[in-house]
Amino acid sequence: MSEWSAAIRERARALVARYPDRRSAVMPLLYLAMLTEDGDLTEDGMRQVAEHTGLTPAQVQSVASFYTMYKREGVGRYLVSVCTSISCMLLAAHDVLDAVADETGVPHGETGEDGTFSVEHVECIGACGGAPAVQVNYELIEGVTPDKARELCRWLRDGRPEVVFSDEMQALFGGQRSFEWGPKEPEGAVAAVPAIAHLGSAAGSSSPPSGGSPAAQPPGGGST
Amino acid sequence: MTATSTKILTGRMDAHPADSHTIERYLATGGYEALRKALETMAPEDVAAELKASNMRGRGGANFPTGVKWGFLAATEPRYLVVNADESEPGTFKDRMLLERDPHQMIEGIALSCYALGIRQAFVYVRGEYPRPARRVERAIAEAYRHGFLGNDVLGTGFACDVVVHLGAGAYICGEETALLNSLEGRRGEPRIKPPFPAVEGLYARPTIVNNVETLSNVPWIVTNGGAQYATIGPETSAGTRLFSLSGHVAKPGNYELVMGLTWREFIYDIGGGIPNGRELKAWIPGGASAPWFVPDPHLDTPVTIDDVGKHGSMLGSGAVVVMDDTTCVVRAAMNIVQFFAHESCGQCTPCREGTGWLQRMLWRIENGAGRPVDVDLLLDVSDNISPGLKWPPAMTTICPLGPSAVSPITTITTYFRDEVAAHVEEGVCPLG
Amino acid sequence: MAERVTITVDGKEMSVPAGSLLIEAAQDEGVYIPRFCWHKRMKPVGMCRMCLVEVEGPRGMLLTTACTMRVNDGMQVDTQSDVVKKAQEGVLEFLLINHPLDCPVCDRGGECPLQDQTMAYGPGESRFVEEKRHFEKPIDISELVKLDRERCILCARCTRFSDEISGDPLIEFVDRGYGTQVLTFPDEPFASYFSGNTVQICPVGALTATPYRFRARPWDLEAVESTCQQCSVGCRVSLQSSQNTIVRLNAVDNDATNHGWLCDKGRFSFEYLSSPHRVGTPLVKGADGEFAEATWGDAIGLVADRLRDADDTRVAALGGARGTNEDAYAFGKFMRTVVGSPHLDAQLGDGLDPQLVVGVTPRATIPDLETARAILLWGPDLKEELPVLYLRVRRAAQELGAKLVVVHPRRTGLDDVAAHKITYRPGQGPAVLRRLAAGEGELAEARAALADGPVVALVGRPGLAEDPRLAEAVAAFAAGLPDAGIMPLERRGNVVGALDMGLSPSLLPGRVAIDDAAGRAALAEAWGADLPEGDGLGAAGILAAAEAGDLDVLLLLGADPADDYPQGNVADAALARTPFVVAFDLFLTDSSRQADVVLPVSGFGESEGTVTNVEGRVQKVNRLVPAPGAARPAWSVLEDVAARLGASLGAVSAEALSKEIAEVAPAYGGISWDLLDFGDGREGVVVPGPEATQPLQHAPADPAVQPSARDLVLHLARVLYDDGVHVRFGPSLARVVPVAAAYVHPNDATRLGLTAGTLVTVAGDRGEIDLPLGLDESLAPGTVYVPFNLDETSELGNALAVTLEAAG
């Protein structure tokens, strides 16, 4: 079993310390396990989470498999998620999904052979006022047309950005928004794991998270 | 402006779009004054009394009076406050805005609620697909700690309050409060049997209050202005303003903070700008994907209040209004929603696990030209085995209302659009193309 | 009796225990509400929804699950309304839409709750025309259990059992919604000592047991209830046979012992009974050292001749702990009256002081765990030696809130539910006890936990290298705890019964001390014979005498000292040196192989009688199948040998012997087979029975054992699956026997410059053995843990001080 590095184990301990019961840290630790493996939730990753929470690997797998964002089948460099729930569906989200699948050559629900893209359709991501909506590594773009979706995929493939930022992609490929977003966000995603300081995001904020641990740097060498 | 334009929740973000989420702007616009007032001049039970007096009903979807819910909290220590920021009901995007645009308003609401309830540990459960709102909240929490609004000794009064952000990972069912608690405990997000209710046995089997983001965001205003003042806004049983998320085939989608009591026609046409592209209104969902749909006849001129919507067999739910124009195939729309619930069924109880999957497959056949004449009645009978009597609020053979929610679009389309459904079966194609 | 309330079910008023679950209360009053997920020994979850009923609430009748609803006074319940019937029919239809309906080839067919309830409550036809859910057909989730996910109805009985009852959550729900399945983690099989329970409680044929698969159809099975003899817990079982071969053991629920559970050793070891290696004919060793088959007459004649020629006191006997009380009683009577020797012992140097075992006061029973506020466990790892007692203690600590204090040299299965775990180096037990008793230092909290009674103290030998008298010292401490009860822990199936029957140099039948003059006199009169005078030898003395050439004849009654005596080399030498060894056995073991005559005896399920468990509870064992070949009950063989010697034991039948025991053995007074019949609420009789007295009252006294400090000490302890014959001769369990190793703390390995996997020599002054090195962080530094009786580890012996170095 490949073990986590001392630095990752230290971060894991800090996550565990946020809760009255260490089992509660399963979910953030699963994200941490994915960050150490470029977004994949591996069997070794689940074993490490089990180790840190006092659970059996079977229990960790049971929890992980309940939630759609823990990618046990692996995931590409860019996870493109197209919302197809009711509000997006009414505004032709399936055309956006088809455009993404066509442009990337990756059918939805799968990961491309070169590992660049995973394409999925997802249930409501809370962007109904800016339908149809798309996320790249959970960074949101609203008001996406099929053509803009193709441009987005090309931009990702050609530019291979280390970090994806919602505001940047919205400006380039988005349209109608659910509401005024306000100023730009300094943090972005380094992998198909939601970017938040206590788990690991790029261009991390200078504010310490409430748990008292210092602002996290992305693991595995990823940085802006 | 009319009375419908009262701004309790969205005033700051509308006036200061560039920095409404920062503590500087929050403080400059009266932020944390309610907390200071409460800590310095009010006993905890006084704060709770204001909530009770406000008649505010929870904004998560169940519309249960918040002050009453608080009253159920058992006295044993420790106790927890859990903020339900797992906004996932299709059509709903209001909490996302509150989290992103005015996180301190909610954080002050958390601190006030913890003070009122004698709680020192709160968790904010943010859905995993909301990293941006979660970041804003996490940074705002850090700011609040630095300014002494959270921590071991809030404003030097000895009151202690800690807040931890917990990220979900893609499971609608975690919006159900007991499923959320299981998830927060590091378990599968499966709803628990109630009773016991969380107020008695919640997080880690301790007394726990679970409140929605919008609910808590109202608390600073209520403490500042008094519960009685809040109760005067809007109809008696639908007090206060309400954030509605408007989406679908409507000219001006978005979040609208409204005083309840206007009619659906006023909302969809006057506020929402009507149906674009010259199309006609066919149906709308009045309160999120779980709610049975409304149709122009007879619902367009009924009032938008919790009670009126309930009286007409649906619910205001999470305040999500999804508008469908006359190009919409109701079978396809219903299938989309049933598929959503089938996908999100936790799978622990039989009728929901098996029933939603069965309904989804039948609708797929009907939509794709393989429907049989018996299928319409079969749809309804299978639905009845999930939600006996096919009424709203539903009777349930299930543990939680997710299963019956999947039945809502089926009862709607077989009630109001039976001919269109039948045409799918008889012609083997969708009549709308 | 608990408070009762009145509820009305289907118009019928019934008085039921307040706070009980509706499903159970109604059933006790004759109203059966169908169910799949609910199990009376597990927490209700209300998942399958089969038990939906209508209960009157503030807003009229409300559909609710009877398994989650607690009764309250005046509750109105309808289990038969149209709404209820439709809901139940609907649930069954939902359960069946994806079920493969492969009943004709399913092990569960004929005894399947899903099948039965479909008959009773089902819709009759399926309206589901979509494609059914598919999974890979049965997959091995362990060596013993297969899983067919297509048949699974996701009731979570198996996953809940593994998590909440047995404490090894290795199977879990995976995925969600329509795709939910039960699964193990990749490469981590469902290797639980209790996995067979999940097969038994599976309400469909999703989980099947490899040893039973396709062996029989339920309607062809013959069955009889009995008492498991794989350890001394004495679990109640249903023995099931097909064509005169035992093919399955199921647990039978009772409150006293097993709560409906079994360990896998108890459940699956029956295979040894039909092993081709069973001895079915008497064997006599010829001059060439080879066994030859013999007639009973010749074999018994030879044994009788050698006994007649031997000096009475140069005859000794070992064993009796694996048979029935009747066998043991006949054996003791034979030794003391026919042979005239006082040298007999049912224990093999691996037990406790027999007077402590049968006479300790105050004594605890297993049900006392249900009301204990604190539990002291200072003894073996129960999970390895008394598995179902482990379940009971686990329940007490986890569900019932008892504070559990575990004292053991290594991690145990109960550590995760223990309020306090004290790990110590073998040899330091006396010092730890003194500090615990005084509440010193870090033991203060553990001591405080034991100040709240009732306290149940489970006292045994943590390992075989430690001074066995430590248990007496622990018992003496425990006796002073508030409202204390003590349970001495002995492992072998009927060891307590054998000691109760007097198979010990210090005991006479019925819990009479050997030096109890009145007891001796009464027994001598009843037997019509003088009892042998002089001190008898126990197992250690007998084997030492044999090794020194001081024995003429050694009788082994189901005893295998070569493997079971903690100094295997001594036992081997003793067997080799003894001129004539007679083995009553089922197999040629490492001991009986060295005998001169082997007399085949009937085994479990092949003869009837009574047995006595670790609490002193007397229960029946029953006969279901014939013994192979000419094998017959040991008592009847002994009667024939006695007859050849011109004597009689009066052993005409097991029941006749049992009647004699009830008359002759004081603590067994009044225990008749009628009292022991199985049935609801019948749970045997705890000795002394209601009409009996127990002459021996043993108040434990601290023997002042001194601590022993050595550089490197041995922890020698048993594992559940070892090289015992019941495991070795059962193909299914033989597959799961672990590989032996010598374990040390990682720091010790570093200190010694050794790495895991290195072959090392562990040596003491009673033997040595080469084993691969394993690492075990739960050990105190300076300890070497070696599993006993695994890959010849018996040869190491049980010297406390050992050395460890890389094998040369």
Per-residue pLDDT tens digits for B137-161:
999 999 999 999 999 999 999 999 9
Q: Report chain B residues whose CB lies below 8 A from the CB of A166.
A: 132
Q: Which amino acid is at B356?
A: T
Residue B11 has pLDDT above 80, yes or no: yes
pLDDT of residue B61: 84
B71-92, pLDDT tens digit by residue? Answer: 999 999 999 999 999 999 999 9
Show residues of chain C in contact with A60, CB under 8 Å. Answer: 185
How many residues does the structure list for chain B?
A: 433
CA–CA dist C340, C337 (Å, integer): 5
Please, what is the average pLDDT of chain A? 90
Neighbouring chains of C at 3+ CB pairs under 8 Å are A, B
If interface means Cβ-Cβ distance under 8 Å, which residues of chain C face chain B? 44-50, 52, 62-63, 65, 68, 83, 86-87, 89-91, 93-95, 97-98, 127-128, 130, 153-154, 156, 173, 175-180
Using pLDDT thresholds of 50, 70 and 90, give the confidence band for residue B278: very high
Contact C209, C145 (CB under 8 A): yes
pLDDT-derived band of residue A221, with 50, 70 and 90 as boundaries?
Answer: very low
**CA distance linking residue C482 with residue B63, whole number of Å:** 54
> What residues are paired with C242 via a beta bridge?
C245
The reply to whether residue A58 touches residue C175, judged by beta carbons under 8 angstroms, is: no
Tell me the mean pLDDT in the region B99-122: 98
Measured distance CA(C87)–CA(C82) in Å, rounded:
8
Condensed to tens digits (0 to 9), the pLDDT of residues B241-263 reads 999 999 999 999 999 999 999 99
Say yes or no: A139 contacts chain B, CB-CB below 8 A: yes
What confidence tens digit (pLDDT) does each residue in C577-591 have? 999 999 999 999 999
Shortest Cα distance from B52 to chain A (angstroms)?
Answer: 30
Does residue C196 register a pLDDT over 60?
yes
CA distance C692 to C90: 57
Residue A204: pLDDT above 80? no
SS (H, E, C) chain B: CCHHHCCCCCHHHHHCCCCCCCHHHHHHCCCCHHHHHHHHHCCHHHHHHHHHHHCCECCCCCCCEHHHHHHCCCCCCCCEEEEEECCCCCCCCHHHHHHHHCHHHHHHHHHHHHHHHCCCEEEEEECCCCHHHHHHHHHHHHHHHHCCCCEEEECCCCEEEEEEEEECCCCHHHHCHHHHHHHHCCCCCCCCCCCCCCCCCCHHHCCEEEEEHHHHHCHHHHHHHCHHHHHCCCCHHHCCEEEEEEEECCCCCEEEEEECCCEHHHHHHHHCCCCHHHCCEEEEECCCCCCCCECHHHHCCCECCHHHHHHCCCCCCCCEEEEEECCCCHHHHHHHHHHHHHHHCCCCCHHHHHHHHHHHHHHHHHHCCCCCCCHHHHHHHHHHHHCCCCCCCCCCCCCCCHHHHHHHHHHHHHHHCHHHHHHHHHHCCCCCC
What pLDDT does C380 receive? Answer: 98
- pLDDT over 80 (residue B433): no
User: Which residues in chain C are contacts of A65 at CB distance < 8 A?
Assistant: 174-176
Q: What is the mean pLDDT of residues C397-425?
A: 98
Q: What is the 3-state secondary structure (H, E, C) of chain A?
A: CCCCCHHHHHHHHHHHCCCCCHHHHHHHHHHHHHHCCCCCCCHHHHHHHHHHHCCCHHHHHHHHCCCCCCCCCCCCCEEEEEECCHHHHHCCHHHHHHHHHHHHCCCCCEECCCCCEEEEEECCCCCHHHCCCEEECCEEECCCCHHHHHHHHHHHHHHCCCCECHHHHHHHHCCCCCCCCCCCCCCEECCCCCCCCCCCCECCCCCCCCCCCCCCCCHHHCCC
Nearest Cβ partner for A208 among B96, B142, B285: B142
Question: CA-to-CA distance for C81 and B388, rounded, in angstroms?
Answer: 13
Q: What is the pLDDT of residues C151-160, one digit of tens each?
A: 999 999 999 9
Mean pLDDT of chain C: 96
At C446, the pLDDT band (50, 70, 90 cuts) reads: very high
Distance from CA of A152 to the nearest CA of C (A): 32
pLDDT at residue number B5:
62
3-state helix, strand, coil in chain C (%, to 5): 30, 20, 50
- State the Cα–Cα distance between residues C25 and C7, nearest whole angstrom: 9
Contacts with A178 from chain B: Cβ below 8 Å: 93, 96-97, 245, 247, 253-255
pLDDT tens for C732-765 read 999 999 999 999 999 999 999 999 999 999 999 9
pLDDT above 50: residue A28:
yes
Rounded to the nearest angstrom, the minimum Cα separation between B128 and chain A is 7
CB atoms within 10 A of CB A62: 27
Strand ranges in C204-244 using DSSP code E only, listed in sequence order: 207-209, 222-227, 236-242
Do A55 and C169 make contact, defined as CB atoms within 8 angstroms? yes
- The reported pTM is 0.95
Q: Between A55, A56, A65, which is nearest C174 by CB?
A: A65
Share of chain A above pLDDT 90, in %: 86
Q: What is the pLDDT of residue C1?
A: 54
Are A57 and C171 inside 8 Å of each other by CB?
no
Other residues' Cβ atoms within 10 Å of the Cβ of residue C625:
23
Residue B192 region by backbone torsions, left for phi larger than 0, else alpha for psi between -120 and 50, else beta: beta
Nearest Cα of chain A lies from the Cα of C188 at a distance, in angstroms, of 8
Instruction: Write down the pLDDT at residue C691.
Output: 87
pLDDT tens profile A79-120: 999 999 999 999 999 999 999 999 999 999 999 999 999 999
- Whether residues A129 and B93 touch (CB distance < 8 A) is answered with yes
**Nearest CA distance, B347 vs chain C (angstrom):** 4
Considering only residues 13 to 42 of chain A, which have any Cβ-Cβ distance to chain B shorter than 8 Å?
A: 18-21, 23-28, 30-31
Strand partners, B210: B82
What is the nearest CA distance from C565 to chain A, expressed in angstroms? 37
Chain B interface, best mutation among C178, C181, C182, C183, by max B CB count within 10 A? C178
- Do the Cβ atoms of C524 and C332 come closer than 8 Å? no
Contact partners, residue C308, CB within 8 Å, separation at least 6: C645
**Within an 8 Å CB–CB cutoff, is residue A86 touching chain B?**
yes
pLDDT of residue A1: 54
Q: Which two tokens stand for residue A207?
A: 């504010």
Range with the poorest average pLDDT among A15-19, A206-210, B126-130, B402-406: A206-210
Tell me what ipTM this predicted complex has: 0.96
So what's the pLDDT on residue A210? 36
Q: B-chain residues within 8 Å CB-CB of A136?
A: none
- Least confident interval from C224-233, C508-517, C722-731: C722-731
> Which of the residue ranges A3-7, C758-762, C788-792 has the most confident prediction, judged by mean pLDDT?
C758-762
Nearest CA in chain C to B192: C45
Whether A224 has a pLDDT exceeding 70, the answer reads no
